[in-house]
Structure formats: C-alpha cells, structure tokens
Structure 1
C-alpha cells in the first residue's frame, strides 16, 4: 500500500513538472514602431520568428493582417489610397513562446499618386488638368505654356482653399503691359473678375480664402498678342487638382484685326491713344457673341493686319500667318486642337488704309482686286481646313465704307463659284460718338454690345442654336 502511494506521488510530481515546463513565454511587443516614407521599422524581439501588422482602414473600418519584415516598403502591399491605423506584434513558432500583444496604433496615410498639387513643366500640357483656351504652345526649353491672342488663357479645377499662379511676360512698355482677368467658380462677367496687370518677368497671383471645396479658376487675357506675350510657369494649390469639365459643344472662331481685340474700347469720347489699360478684348463683340451663344471662342486677330497688305505690316498678313500659333511666331498651330462650328471673319479695314495711300485710281483698283482675290483664297482655305464649318463675313464696325462693295464682292464670288461653302455675310453697326467712341475711331463698349447681339442672332439662325 505504501509502495502504491509513493508511485502515485511520483506520477503527480512528474505531471506538475511537465505543466511548468510547457507554460509559454510571451514575446515582448516590438518597440520603436514607426512608418516613415512608407518604410515600416521597429526593434526586433528575441525569439520572434516573424512580425504581423494589423491594419484598420479608417474609412471602410475593414481590418486586415499582414506579415512584414523590418524595413519593408509597405507600398508592396498595394493599399488603396486613404488613412489607416496600424499596430504590430511579434510572433513565434518556437516551443514555449507565444505571440506578443499588439503595440499601440500609429497613423499611416497612403496618398493617391494621381493627385497633383503642383503643376509645372510638362504637366502644363495635360489638358485634363490645365484646360487651354485660344492658341497655345509649350516651350520645352523654358518649361512654360504660352497663350497668345485675346481671350486666350486657361482653367483649372481643384479641391482646396488656395491657388498660386506664376505667370510670365517679357519686357513691355507701359502702354503694352498685358492684362489678365481671373474668374472664380463660374463667373463670366469680366467686370466682376479680378483684373491683373502683369509686370515684366514672373508674376505671382494668389487666390486664397476659398472654402475647403471644389473650385474652378479661369484666367483669360484681355490684351492682344502683338502687345505682349504671356505664359504659365506654374500652378499650385494647397489641395489637389482634379479633372476639368469638358469644353462646351459649340465652338466659334473669330479671325479679325483690332476691333475683336477690344482696341481702345474703354475710352468713351474717342480721345486718347490706345493702350492695354484702355482696351478690353473680353468685352469685344467677339467674346460677347460667344457668351450669348454659350460657345467656346478662339480669336486670331492683330491690330493693323490685313487680308492682303496694310501700311503698317506690308505683305505680312493674316492669311499667311494663320498657320502659326501667333502672327509673330514661326511655330505651327495644330488645327486639330480647335475645330470650330463657324468662322467669323472681319477683315478689310487695314487693307483700305493701304489702298487709300495709293496715288492713282488704277493702282487702287488693282489693289482692290488683289484684296478680293486674297480674301476669296482665304475663305476657301478655311473651308478646306474644316469642310463642316459655316463661314460668315462681317464688316462695317470701322465704317470702312470704301471697301464695303469689295467685301460684298468676296461674298458673291464664294456664293457663285464655291457652292459647297456655307457662306454668309452681315453688316455690323458702325462706331459712333453717340454710343461712345473708342480710341482711334474704334467702337466703344455700347457698339460692341450691339454688334454682338446682332451677330449672335445671325449665328443662331445659321446654326439653329438657341441664345441665352
């Protein structure tokens, strides 16, 4: 009996010793746990055979676990963009050791690589982020996006409270300083936009104090290209840029001289020379017509330029510069960038200014015939570039009565000899003192308004468009 008791006691002792030997040791929690530039790091733990992180997506509240190594790049785990809370534990498959508790949580943010807060360099050519208006060209050497004619410019859409724009212009005389107007969140009235005169060099324009929301900023040039050149150096927001809205369906192109650029139209008494300060192309008949028709506008114009020849620019004329981004450029424009539904052509005043300098009637008659032929050739060229577009010749704003007949002859030649061209003609109201005369006998604001109402009505009739 005594022997049996001893045997049972021995078995009990062995069992107790076994229990003690089988009790697992909990690993230490990894210390100094952090994620810097997507690299996870921590103090390694003795007897750990691996490490596990638990990741909580703060938006979806979903939890996932991953095995990681020290100094591992978490980008390889392909997290969706968002904010996460991460904690870590040491794990072991060794006998007599068990996994540690999880550490405290740390924040980990995964940014969307497609989100951009700074647009500069080649990114300026991304038309989904920087929507360009008018003719434009990216200069690779200067890393700047140039925009040229009146009403050219750009638009960006972003989420944030601030936009910083660095715009560049060259060395300009005081009367040729370029002006741009900034339109915020859909504003279209140039009198309600922010007007900025650009100094020589880089100009920083800051639009801030906006709500933390989606915003659109449009910047349009109210001056003309022959006065000064302008470009975008960089665009930056405290949030990020998002994709712009598509262009409007309706598209108009105006090919003209000074009036479409708003030459001196802020003068009301006809007294004084034209400057960029007293000229607002965003309030010209061309841009107003586009506004009334809710259409995009692309203007190709230059003061003093002619169809054939002018006293100021000789044989350098609109038709032989039309293929380029600017009348003073040798860089070719891609016509695929803008395909208008209708061309509005307003030329002839400067041709007459040259013709009027000729000494005898035979010379003037020959020059008029050259004008007609050049104008017809240009209309045919426009049609060949864009066979689906309508074309309307307009005249009369400058009261250029001596060339009215020749202008109507251009229309008639096209009508008679080129039946495939959808050609139209319209006489616009003339500049006059009772409506307020601009600089150099150019139309003032009231005349531009009247011309725009008449022209938009005519275009609506031609294209079967409604008018706002």
Structure 2
C-alpha cells in the first residue's frame, strides 16, 4: 500500500507540473546557441515591461522590445502580431550595434503625404519571420528591437531567433542609466507622424519620436514607457484592485504582477507626464470631479511611484490647465514627507493638436537641459 501511495503521489505531482500547478523551470542556455533559439529572459534582454504567455514573450507597450547579441552576419526573428483590428497594425524599429542614425532622417509635416524616410518595419497580423539584419560584417553584433506603437493598438510576441550560420550569445548588459515615463497619448507619440495616415491609424504613431525617447538616447539610458491614449491620474489609481503601475500591461488587462524589486527594474528617473486628460475629465464632470480632488489623486500617484521606486528622481511635467494643481501637489507632497528627490517642470509648449516629431524633438532638447540642470542622469 505504501508503494502504491508513493506512485499515486508522483502521478499527481507530474500532472500538476504539466498543468502549470508547479513553477516552470527554464534550463540554463548553453552559449553560443545555434539553429532555432527560443526567446526568453535568458537569451535576450527585454526592454520595458513584458510578460510570458504559453511560451511566448510579449512586449506590448510603446518603446518596449529586446536586445540580443549574436555572432555572424544575419539574424531573423519570429514574431506574433496581434492588432486590435486591421487599422492598428504593429510597427517595430530595428537597430544594429546602437546605430540610431536612421531616426534622425525621418521627417513629418502632419499631412498624409508628408512622412519621409520612415525606417519602421510593418508586421502583418499573425506569425511572421522577419529579417532583422543581413549582410553584416562577420563578427559579434547587437540587435535592438523596439515597438513603435502603444499596447492598446496591438500586442507583439517574440517566439524564436534564427542566427543563420552564426550563433546567439549571452544577452547584453543593461545601460548604466534608465528612465520610466508615465504618460498619456503624448508619451506614446500619437499622431506625431501625421493625422491618421492613409495606411492605418497606428502608422501615424511612433513612440521613439517623443520627448523622453530623445532624452533617453542623448543620455544613453534605457527607456520604459507606461502610457496610453486617454490615460489620466485617477484611472491609474483606481482602475484595478491595485494601482495600475503594479501590472505588466494593464491596458490589455494583463494583470501579471510587475515586480519592481527584481534586478534591473528600478529607474534613475521617473517622468510623470499627465494632466491633459485630467483637465478634460474635470471639465466634462459637471462639477462631480474638481481640481482639488485631482490634486489629491496626483499626490496619491506620487506616493505610489515613490513606494515602487524609492531611490528614483521624480520629475513631474505638464502643459495643460492642470499644471498649477500638479505643482501644488508636488509642493504639498514635499511638505508632508520632506522628500527632496522630486520637482515639477512646467513646459512652455502650447498644443493645438497632438505634437509632430519636430515639437517632440524641441521638447526633448528642453528636457535634456532640465535634467542637466538638476544633475539627474
């Protein structure tokens, strides 16, 4: 009977493991890896927030993606693109050996025909294998893949890497500095390439041409973007049981916990770029939601950011009618806590529409000067 009980217990444990009842253990990769290389936390370095679902790693938020090192002359990757509909296809950028010069050539004047030198790659819905680089000089290279769109438009999974006759090497190390942006459509780059380009709505948006992205490239910093169209302060605080900042991708209701205490997830700078949608919520509430309530919600957001990122410098910024309340919120928070690792920066830009890349670039230059004056990064 004892032997039968042991066998029965073993069968139960095997069954639990196959159904996800036991934690998955991932074998240590044996570098260099040749042939088909599964994408995982051990074969690439993820940029921004990510999560795993059925063996596929998703990087949905704007500017998220991954970096990989390989030796050889070419690299391909298998992706899964999941647009919300045919008007929201997924776009990515690919950079070789930290060469971002292609971004400097892109121009957009706001018209449907005014986009020039667009270096993005369009991913069709479903699975596709994409050549990330080819014809390179034989040797060791780094490939960086970053998503141009926000997660509310499309999701992006990466399945495998194909290094051709070469091999995938150990992932790159993190950059010395890092930035987290908490924002709305402005931080996603909505319509910064033009108003609803003829190809699709998502074609008009590129998160790599935003104020924070320009600053991140200037300082050589990693960039994590937590932003979506229409995001406002009280929604972050109350949409779920916990603050939205605690989840991997709450905009797609992916409530996998995002543990900021894991290595590599703390940030040197947290940039809070909210307020425009808060102003709209206040003005359309018929008095049900006031600027005073907004100020209290903004303080709650700061408190949550500080709890998750205890050593980060927090820079709050805005251009909207809510800016004065945000500045008061920062002042009240500092008075309550004595926290001196935070400030408010009023941008002088006036928007008549979602800003084009030229405006993002000029705001990026001003942000760089502000951070240099603060001694941050």
When normalised by structure 2's length, the TM-score is 0.81
Deviations 1:65-87 (A, max 9, x none): xxxxxxxxxxxxxxxxxxxxxxx
Q: 1:138 aligns with which of 52, 67, 84?
A: 52
Query: Counterpart in 2 of 1:201?
Result: 126
Higher relative contact order (CA 8 A, sep 6+): 2
- Deviation, 1:458, is 1.4
Matches within 5 A, 1:205-244: 205-206=130-131, 207-238=133-164, 239-244=166-171
1:345 paired with 2:272, answer yes
1:9 corresponds in structure 2 to none
Distance (whole Å) between structure 2 residues aligned to residue 190 and residue 419 of structure 1: 44
Which residue does the alignment assign to 2:67? 155
Q: What's the counterpart of residue 326 of structure 1?
A: 249
CA distance in 2, matches of 1:271, 1:148: 21
- Taking a change above 3 Å as real, the CA distance of residues 341 and 304 of structure 1, as seen in their structure-2 partners, is same
SS at match of 1:308: helix
Larger Rg: 1
How far 1:318 sits from its partner (Å)? 12
Partner of 1:259: 186
Query: Structure 2: how far apart are the matches of 1:145 and 1:119?
Result: 16
Cα distance change, pair 464–196 in 1 and its aligned pair in 2 (3 A): closer
Out of 91, 96, 119, the position equivalent to 1:184 is 96
Q: Deviations over 1:96-154 (max 9, x none)?
A: xxxxxxxxxxxxxxxx9532024544x5220xx31110001122x2x111112111001
Q: Once structures 1 and 2 are overlaid, which stretch shifts more, 183-192 or 367-376?
A: 183-192
Aligned residue number for residue 6 of structure 2: none
2:113 maps to what in 1?
Answer: none
CA distance in 2, matches of 1:379, 1:318: 18
Q: Which residue of 2 aligns with 1:39?
A: none
Matched, 1:172 2:84: yes
Q: Note the 1:298-309 alignment, pairs <5 A.
A: 298-309=224-235
Residues 215 and 365, structure 2, Cα contact 8 Å, conserved in 1: yes
Measured in 2, the distance between the counterparts of 1:386 and 1:404 equals 23
8 Å Cα contact 2:44/2:172 also seen in 1? no
Contact map agreement 2:197 2:204 (CA 8 A) in 1: no
1:460 to partner: Cα distance: 2.2
Rounded to whole Å, the distance in 1 between the matches of 2:365 and 2:64 is 22
Q: In the superposition, relative to structure 1, how do residues 171 and 405 fare at CA in structure 2: closer, same or farther (>3 Å)?
A: closer
Instruction: Name 1:116's counterpart in structure 2.
Output: 33
Q: What is the distance in 1 between the residues matched to 2:35 and 2:50?
A: 20
Matched, 1:417 2:332: no
Unaligned runs of 5+ in 2: 1-28, 106-117
Structure 1 position 263, deviation (Å)? 0.6
Secondary structure of the corresponding residue to residue 135 of structure 2: coil
- Give the Å deviation of 1:244: 3.4
- Is the aligned partner of 1:380 residue 2:303? yes
SS of residue in 2 equivalent to 1:413: helix
Confirm whether residue 450 of structure 1 aligns to residue 362 of structure 2. Answer: yes
Map of 1:284 onto structure 2:
210
Q: Secondary structure of the residue that 1:176 maps to in structure 2?
A: coil
Alpha-carbon distance, 1:171 to partner: 4.5
Report SS of the residue matched to 1:453. Answer: helix
How many residue pairs match? The answer is 329
CA distance in 1, matches of 2:182, 2:338: 22
Would you say the 8 A contact 1:118–1:234 is kept in 2?
Answer: no
Write out aligned runs for 1:428-447 (5 A).
Answer: 428-432=347-351, 441-447=353-359
Name the residue aligned to 1:408: 327
Cα distance in 2 between the residues matched to 1:276 and 1:423: 34
TM-score (norm 1): 0.66
- CA contact 1:305–1:317 (8 Å) conserved in 2: no
* CA–CA separation in structure 1 for the residues paired with 2:347 and 2:196: 23
- Check conservation: 1:145, 1:231, Cα contact below 8 A: yes
RMSD of aligned C-alpha atoms?
Answer: 2.5
Q: For residues 302 and 241 of structure 2, what CA distance do their matches in structure 1 show?
A: 12
2:175 is aligned with 1:245: no
> Unaligned regions of 5+ residues in structure 1, if any?
1-111
Tell me how far apart the structure 2 counterparts of residues 370 and 346 of structure 1 sit (CA, whole Å).
18
